[in-house]
Amino acid sequence: MDRTFVMVKPDGVARGLIGKIVTRFEEKGFTIAAAKLMQLNQLEAERHYDHLRAKAFFGELVAFITSGPVFAMIVEGKDAVKNARALIGATNPLEAALGTIRGDYAMDVASNIVHGSDNDENAEREIGMYFR
């Protein structure tokens, strides 16, 4: 069984969307192998977004992801990374199809409800960061 990392971001947690998002994954056929509600500190957030450190918006990403609790999950299923990203939708909610999580719940790219690993290597890295 393939697995990936998914995180409901602070905006999704604050809006009470954890249950709806978990349900979307389960209805698609995924299994939630592990999950936890947690608060990221500055160092954890910087490590999570390390690949974007050179970008002008890095500080905003770190500030946002540490602004409230997140709900981290290990999601298992066939072609987990590809299928999860399809269910999540495009990074920019204005480009995300209706029926995707971001297409249905997010309003802007800065607060786009959920994170999903973009490839198998990052999935394993992120799982290791959050589920040691």
Q: Report whether 129 contacts 48 (CB < 8 A).
A: yes
Distance of CA 126 to the CA centre of its chain: 10
Tokens (6 digits) for 114 = 């959920």
48 catalytically annotated: no
Q: Pick the catalytic residue from 3, 9, 102, 115.
A: 115
CB 71 within 8 A of CB 18: yes
List active site positions.
115
